[in-house]
Amino acid sequence: MTVKSCMPFLDAMTSGYVITAATDMTLRGWTEGKEKHWQATWNVPMEIERPEFVTSHEVPQMGNEPAIKSGSLPLKMRNFFCIKTPDGYSSLIVPVLNNQQLPMMGITFLSAVVDTDTYNNEVNLPFLFSNFTGEDLFIEKGTPLVQVIPFKRENWEMEKSGVDENYYASKDLLLGSRIVDSYRKIFHKKKTYL
């Protein structure tokens, strides 16, 4: 069996919605002495005014973020549409779960929770850029950038308690009653995002 049969792994990847790259683009980072530089190029039809897809992010806003101290530059990709959820729902925006394609290139999107029921504006996508090898990093149109997972805002109160040995023993017996796909067949609940 492979990880493709692991429902928690797959549920993470298929939760919510994915914002993808709106166009082919290339990012390049290089150093000159102690200075770090970056450049982004992208394709848009000639008749469209050239929008800024990638821009700088103010370093002071990042405070003492360890990644900035270690040499990453904060940048952001522009998102050209608004995310709107029903009243009482916010959106968790995270790097695409279980997808290491962009982090391995030196592009790590930052996580955020946005109250998308009341904030009716573009939600730009800040990221840390750490690849200063001088090579061109190609991001194809349609490449998954971030994952948007809506959730209902509710108040929670955590409770701590001792382990109920009988409860866990019964769940272990249930889990062990099937050789293949026991979690999927016994515990998994289908999630739907239309």
C-beta atoms surrounding 162 within 10 Å: 5
Distance, CA of 44 to CA of 24 (rounded, Å): 9
185 is a domain residue = no
Please indicate, yes or no, if residue 171 is contained in any of the structural domains: no
DSSP H or E run through 125: strand 125-129
Q: How far apart are CA 148 and CA 95, in angstroms?
A: 9
Residue 167 lies in a domain: no
Domain assignment of residue 56, yes or no: yes
Q: Can you tell me the distance from the alpha carbon of 56 to that of 39, in angstroms, rounded to the nearest whole number?
A: 10
Residues 46, 50, 51, CA angle at the centre, nearest 5°?
145
> What's the structural domain count of the chain?
1
Report the chain (194 residues): mean pLDDT per 10 consecutive residues: 77 90 92 92 69 78 70 87 93 94 95 95 92 95 95 91 78 70 74 79
The rounded radius of gyration (Å) of the Cα atoms in the chain is: 21
The residue whose two tokens read 């200063």 is 132
The boundaries of the domain holding residue 111 are 3-162
Q: Tell me the β-bridge partners of 188.
A: none
Does any domain span residue 50? yes
pLDDT at position 5: 73
Q: Is residue 144 part of a domain?
A: yes
Q: Is residue 187 part of a domain?
A: no
Whether residue 40 lies inside any domain: the answer is yes
What is the separation, in whole angstroms, between the first and last Cα of the chain? Answer: 29
72-89 CB burial, b ≥16 within 10 A, e <16? bbbbbbebeeebebeeee
CATH number (domain holding residue 103): 2.70.40.10
pTM score of the predicted model: 0.81
159: buried, middle or exposed (CB in 10 Å: 19+, 13-18, 0-12)?
A: exposed
